[in-house]
């Protein structure tokens, strides 16, 4: 078996955290490919190395002196090196970074150095080979990640490598210019490496023991999720649940490689398994609850709408013409509702209304703002009768008025629209009816 292990910034913020990661890697001989993030915060009031690099480069870009800021970054790494008792010098690397900063190599280059340097430290600590991600993770001329060429290059580069450290977060254009993924991109790198070496498992080590059924800022000590499918995770991630960068799902999903979210500070915990499919019966009917505030609904009424061919297309064209994407489009016989992000829509609302009248000739349009959408997700709902009824009953008991309900044909999720002010109450009510009652 081969395992790819990715460690987040909080897992590598200090020498103490590095040692925890090292113990985890050495505890399993199958953990031979390591993807590190840049050092994160050592305490709540600390600064991530990536943010320090951005600030340092901003000075360089403005033509100001930045040696003091660069030295502070250097001190962070030296503190880790000394704590690990390594005979390692990063003098050459920092000289190169200073030179490139003065030559204005770009903010992507600057940000990537956090992972690059941490990769060198990790490789030295483990005795593994260091593989610069810029050698094999490729971006096209348009800045889009080239998945197939990257997979070919990385597979070729690692095929005869026994053990390696590959920094996360960045790659390069064909000419060698460094390009980063979005924030959280180290998750993506780990997934890319797992695909390239055809790993059996991709372990993603962070500071939490996997996914929780609901947001702990709303639910006190929510239950953890033992197993979740890629589809369920996609639904929850889209509605705001964050532990893993959602783009990290696709490379491993294509190969059927499971992801295991683990806690560096509690390695004995099983964490959450993310799988393609499973016959394991979920502990609860629902797998998770997630949601977002800040939506508005555009309600369009027209008699005999259902018999008018192309009505829906005409309505959505009005949004497309104004560059606005929609979230959900529930409809009835004579009504159609389009849910959109309020901050995106509010500045163009009258243009959209005018366009709908011009294109679809409705009888009436009504806009309602300050709404929230909540996704109740779970593969267990498909085989359980009365799930929607239990949700409505719980919300009614909590005095929450339901503005909208939309269930996909897969029966994997139910989307509920409520007022922003009812958001937390609704999530608590749904959690209580499906989880707390069964505890």
Tens digit of pLDDT for each residue in 250-281?
A: 899 889 999 999 999 999 999 999 999 888 88
Last residue of a domain, one of 189, 207, 225: 207
- Shared domain for 203 and 293, answered yes or no, is no
Do the domain assignments include residue 412? yes
What is the reported pLDDT for 183? 66
Q: pTM of the full predicted structure?
A: 0.86
Do the domain assignments include residue 136? yes
- Shared domain for 424 and 310, answered yes or no, is yes
Do the domain assignments include residue 398? yes
Residue carrying the six token digits 């001329």: 141
Give the residue among 341, 374, 378 at the shortest CA–CA distance from 233. Answer: 378
What is the reported pLDDT for 350? 96
- Shared domain for 203 and 299, answered yes or no, is no
Residue carrying the six token digits 């007022």: 419
DSSP string of 90-137, one letter each residue: -HHHHHHHHHHHHTT--HHHHHHHHHHHHHHHHHHHHTPEE--GGGT-
What is the reported pLDDT for 136? 94
CA distance 205 to 308: 53
CA distance 117 to 246: 25
Do the domain assignments include residue 156? yes
Give the residue among 34, 57, 47, 175 at the shortest CA–CA distance from 113. Answer: 57
Last residue of a domain, one of 207, 232, 257: 207
- Shared domain for 16 and 158, answered yes or no, is yes
Do the domain assignments include residue 93? yes
Q: Are 264 and 20 in contact (CB under 8 A)?
A: yes
Q: Are 238 and 251 in contact (CB under 8 A)?
A: no
- Shared domain for 52 and 149, answered yes or no, is yes
- Shared domain for 76 and 167, answered yes or no, is yes
**Half-sphere exposure (Cβ direction) of 190: Cα atoms closer than 13 Å:** 36
CA distance 193 to 112: 17
- Shared domain for 67 and 188, answered yes or no, is yes
pLDDT digits (tens, 9 = 90+) for 177-198: 999 998 668 999 999 999 999 9
Furthest-apart CA pair in the chain: how many Å? 78
Structural domain boundaries, residue 21: 3-207
Do the domain assignments include residue 295? yes
> Mean pLDDT over all residues of the chain?
93
Q: Are 42 and 80 in contact (CB under 8 A)?
A: no
- CATH classification of the domain holding 431: 3.30.2130.10
Where would I find the beta strands (DSSP E) of 173-230? 178-180, 201-206, 227-229
- Shared domain for 193 and 317, answered yes or no, is no
If one counts the domains in the chain, the total is 2
Instruction: Name the CA radius of gyration of the chain, rounded.
Output: 25
Do the domain assignments include residue 262? no
- CATH classification of the domain holding 114: 3.40.1160.10
CA distance 122 to 31: 14
Which run of H or E residues covers position 92? Answer: helix 91-102
CA distance 228 to 216: 18
- Shared domain for 195 and 312, answered yes or no, is no
pLDDT above 70: residue 327: yes
Q: At what angle do helices 423-434 and 387-397 cross, to 10 degrees?
A: 130
Do the domain assignments include residue 413? yes
pLDDT digits (tens, 9 = 90+) for 361-399: 999 999 999 999 999 999 988 878 888 889 999 999 999
Q: Are 194 and 202 in contact (CB under 8 A)?
A: yes
Per-residue pLDDT band for 74 (boundaries 50, 70, 90) equals: very high
Which run of H or E residues covers position 16? Answer: helix 15-26
Alpha carbon of residue 219 to chain centroid: 21
Last residue of a domain, one of 188, 207, 226: 207
Count of CB atoms situated within 10 Å of the CB of 343: 10
CA distance 94 to 76: 12
pLDDT digits (tens, 9 = 90+) for 94-115: 999 999 999 999 999 999 999 9
pLDDT digits (tens, 9 = 90+) for 276-306: 988 888 889 999 999 999 999 999 999 999 8
pLDDT above 90: residue 239: no
């Amino acid at each position: 078996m081969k395992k790819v292990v990715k460690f987040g910034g909080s897992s590598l913020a200090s020498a103490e955290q590095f040692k925890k990661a090292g113990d985890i890697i050495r505890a399993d001989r199958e953990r031979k490919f390591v993807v590190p993030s840049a050092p994160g915060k050592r305490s709540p009031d600390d600064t991530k190395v990536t943010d320090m690099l951005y600030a340092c480069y901003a000075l360089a870009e403005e033509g100001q002196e930045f040696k003091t800021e660069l030295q502070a970054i250097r001190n962070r790494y030296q503190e880790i090196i000394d704590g690990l008792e390594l005979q390692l010098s990063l003098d050459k690397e920092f000289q190169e970074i200073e030179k490139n900063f003065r030559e204005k190599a770009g903010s992507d280059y600057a940000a990537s150095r956090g992972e690059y340097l941490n990769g060198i430290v990790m490789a030295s600590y483990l005795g593994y080979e260091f593989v610069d991600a810029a050698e094999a993770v490729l971006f096209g001329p348009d800045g889009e990640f080239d998945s197939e060429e990257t997979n070919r290059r990385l597979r070729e580069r690692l095929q005869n490598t026994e053990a390696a450290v590959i920094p996360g977060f960045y790659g390069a254009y064909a000419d060698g210019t460094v390009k980063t993924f979005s924030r959280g991109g180290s998750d993506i790198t780990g997934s890319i490496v797992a695909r390239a070496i055809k790993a059996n498992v991709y372990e993603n080590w962070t500071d939490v023991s996997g996914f929780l059924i609901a947001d702990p800022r709303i639910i006190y000590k929510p239950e953890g999720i033992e197993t979740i499918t890629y589809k369920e995770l996609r639904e929850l991630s889209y509605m705001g649940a964050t532990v893993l960068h959602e783009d990290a799902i696709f490379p491993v999903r294509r190969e059927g490689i499971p992801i295991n979210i683990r806690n560096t500070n509690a390695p004995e915990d099983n964490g959450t398994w993310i799988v393609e499919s499973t016959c394991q019966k979920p502990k609860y009917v629902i797998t998770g609850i997630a949601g977002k505030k800040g939506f508005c609904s555009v309600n369009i009424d027209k008699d005999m709408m259902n018999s008018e061919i192309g009505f829906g297309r005409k309505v959505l064209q009005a949004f497309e013409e104004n560059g606005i994407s929609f979230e959900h489009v529930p409809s009835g016989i004579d009504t159609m509702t389009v849910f959109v992000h309020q901050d995106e829509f509010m500045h163009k609302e009258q243009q959209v209304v005018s366009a709908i009248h011009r294109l679809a000739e409705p009888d009436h349009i009504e806009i309602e703002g300050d709404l929230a959408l909540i996704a109740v997700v779970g593969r267990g709902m498909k085989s359980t009768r009365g799930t929607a009824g239990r949700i409505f009953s719980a919300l009614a008991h909590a005095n929450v008025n339901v503005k909208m309900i939309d269930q996909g044909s897969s029966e994997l999720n139910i989307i509920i629209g409520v007022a922003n002010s009812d958001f937390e109450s609704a999530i608590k009510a749904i959690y209580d009816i499906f989880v707390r009652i069964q505890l």
